[in-house]
């Protein structure tokens, strides 16, 4: 089940390979952020509004009211932090995932990874990334949920300064527990599903991984994305609610992630854990279309002498979770 090696490495070939993967992943990540941000803004606003007396009656109503009150820019509030951090996040995810794959290959005597091993490798990558994802998403969500009439922050830098000056590093990392769980399980589920779909295609059609068309890999990426969200969305709701909650006093509704879970269940039932899921499902199609950019960039020639590195036409870069 393991992927073909992307290059035959010579001297500094491994470094060049890593840089090229990082560039491809970063560009693909930027495309995903730009395409997916409006959907994410609607999702977060629906996730975090109260059950009764909320501003929005649904996703369409949220889109209409956001556009009317804030214009097109309202859908891109908080975009700066994920755009700045996407390169680092992709680098960490890729490095940890590839390291875990090498560890398992050695343990398997050179054989491919099992489904469980892909899950563990993906989970390790997600857990490593959670330390970056938590503050990035916290700042983004604070900006996404403020409106023109209740704006507390002038931008991401102002948001970071104000939170840190009042609540320190703990304030910046508010919601880390749910982020840790979501990233770990979510990425584990993503790679387990992705590899299962790819291997099913290879087995059914008697083909190798490099013979699978790019559009089918994109579809498998979408399917894996659905697997990730269907199994981790409730914890994402808890995370979003904690990260929009007050820090102290009467403004603070939840004492912890567990308290948020208990109060959500008591006040809203199962439906409370799936608020905003519609935009998340719709978001998958355009965001996965954006991953073609990643594949195209990765397919560009390296322009490096053959004595240093020889491209392998069987290379396929995984579609990262989004």
- pLDDT per residue as tens digits for the range 258-315: 999 999 999 999 999 999 999 998 987 787 766 655 555 555 554 444 443 334 444 4
Give me the pLDDT at residue 56, please: 94
pLDDT band at 121 (very low <50, low <70, confident <90, very high): very high
CB-based burial, 137-146: b 16+ in 10 Å, e otherwise: bbbbbbbbbb
Give me the pLDDT at residue 138, please: 97
Give me the pLDDT at residue 14, please: 62
Give me the pLDDT at residue 87, please: 77
Average pLDDT over residues 72-87: 88
Least confident of 86-100, 129-143, 156-170, 252-266: 86-100
Whether the pLDDT of residue 108 is over 90: the answer is yes
Average pLDDT value over all residues in the chain = 84
Average pLDDT over residues 70-81: 92
pLDDT band at 13 (very low <50, low <70, confident <90, very high): low
Q: Hey, what's the torsion of the CAs at 14, 18, 21, 27, to 10 degrees?
A: -150
Most confident of 15-19, 89-93, 119-123, 212-216: 119-123
**CATH code, residues 7-311:** 1.50.40.10
Q: What percent of the chain has pLDDT over 90?
A: 58
Least confident of 25-29, 75-79, 133-137, 192-196: 25-29
Give me the pLDDT at residue 11, please: 43
More confident residue, 54 or 28: 54
Least confident of 60-74, 210-224, 227-241: 210-224
Q: In sequence order, what are the residues at sequence separation of 6 or more whose Cβ sits closer than 8 angstroms to the Cβ of residue 285? A: 222
Least confident of 140-144, 241-245, 315-319: 315-319
The residue whose two tokens read 């994305």 is: 225
Least confident of 6-15, 26-35, 176-185, 275-284: 6-15
Give me the pLDDT at residue 312, please: 43
More confident residue, 297 or 209: 209
Average pLDDT over residues 127-140: 96
Q: Which tokens belong to 191? A: 């790679």
Average pLDDT over residues 229-233: 95
Give me the pLDDT at residue 30, please: 83
Give me the pLDDT at residue 5, please: 36
Average pLDDT over residues 232-261: 94
In 3D space, the residue among 230, 269, 239, 276 whose CA is nearest the CA of residue 257 turns out to be 239
> Whole-angstrom Cα distance, residue 50 to residue 159?
23
CB neighbourhood size of 238 (10 A): 26
What is the dihedral sign for C-alpha 221, 224, 226, 229?
A: negative
DSSP code per residue over 229-278 = HHHHHHHHHHHHHHHHS-SSGGG---SSHHHHHHHHHHHHGGGGGGTTHH
Read off φ and ψ for residue 9, nearest 5 degrees.
-85, 140
What are the domain boundaries of the chain? 7-311
CA 1 to chain centre: 23
Average pLDDT over residues 34-47: 93
The residue whose two tokens read 């509704």 is: 253
Q: Where are the alpha helices (DSSP H) in 49-79?
A: 59-70
> Whole-angstrom Cα distance, residue 36 to residue 290?
9
What's 100-164 look like in SS3?
HHHHHHHHCCCCCCCHHHHHHHHHHHHHHHHHHHHHHHHHHHHHHHCCCCCCCCCCHHHHHHHHH
């Amino acid at each position: 089940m393991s992927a073909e090696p992307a290059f035959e490495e010579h001297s500094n070939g491994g470094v060049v390979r890593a840089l090229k993967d990082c560039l491809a992943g970063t560009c693909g990540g930027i495309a995903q952020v730009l395409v997916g941000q409006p959907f994410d803004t609607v999702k977060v606003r629906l996730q975090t509004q109260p059950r009764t007396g909320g501003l929005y009656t649904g996703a369409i109503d949220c889109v209409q009211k956001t556009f009317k009150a804030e214009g097109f820019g309202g859908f891109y509030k908080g975009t700066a932090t994920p755009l700045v951090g996407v390169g680092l996040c992709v680098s960490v995810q890729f490095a940890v995932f590839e390291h875990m794959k090498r560890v398992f290959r050695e343990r398997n005597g050179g054989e491919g990874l099992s489904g469980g091993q892909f899950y563990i490798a993906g989970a390790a990558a997600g857990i490593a990334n959670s330390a970056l994802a938590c503050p990035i998403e916290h700042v983004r969500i604070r900006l996404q949920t403020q409106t023109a009439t209740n704006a507390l922050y002038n931008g991401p830098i102002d948001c970071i300064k104000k939170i840190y000056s009042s609540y320190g590093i703990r304030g910046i990392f508010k919601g880390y527990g749910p982020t840790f769980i979501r990233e770990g399980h979510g990425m584990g589920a993503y790679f387990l599903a992705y590899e299962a779909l790819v291997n099913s295609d290879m087995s059914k059609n008697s083909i190798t991984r490099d013979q699978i068309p790019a559009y089918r890999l994109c579809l498998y990426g979408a399917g894996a994305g659905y697997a990730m969200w269907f199994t981790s969305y409730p914890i994402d709701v808890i995370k979003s609610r904690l990260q929009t909650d007050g820090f102290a006093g009467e403004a603070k509704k939840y004492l912890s992630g567990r308290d948020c879970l208990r109060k959500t269940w008591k006040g809203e039932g199962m439906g409370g854990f799936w608020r905003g899921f519609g935009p998340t499902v719709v978001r998958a199609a355009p965001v996965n279309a954006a991953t073609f950019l990643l594949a195209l960039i990765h397919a560009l020639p390296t322009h490096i002498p053959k004595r240093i590195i020889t491209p392998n036409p069987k290379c396929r870069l995984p579609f990262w979770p989004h």
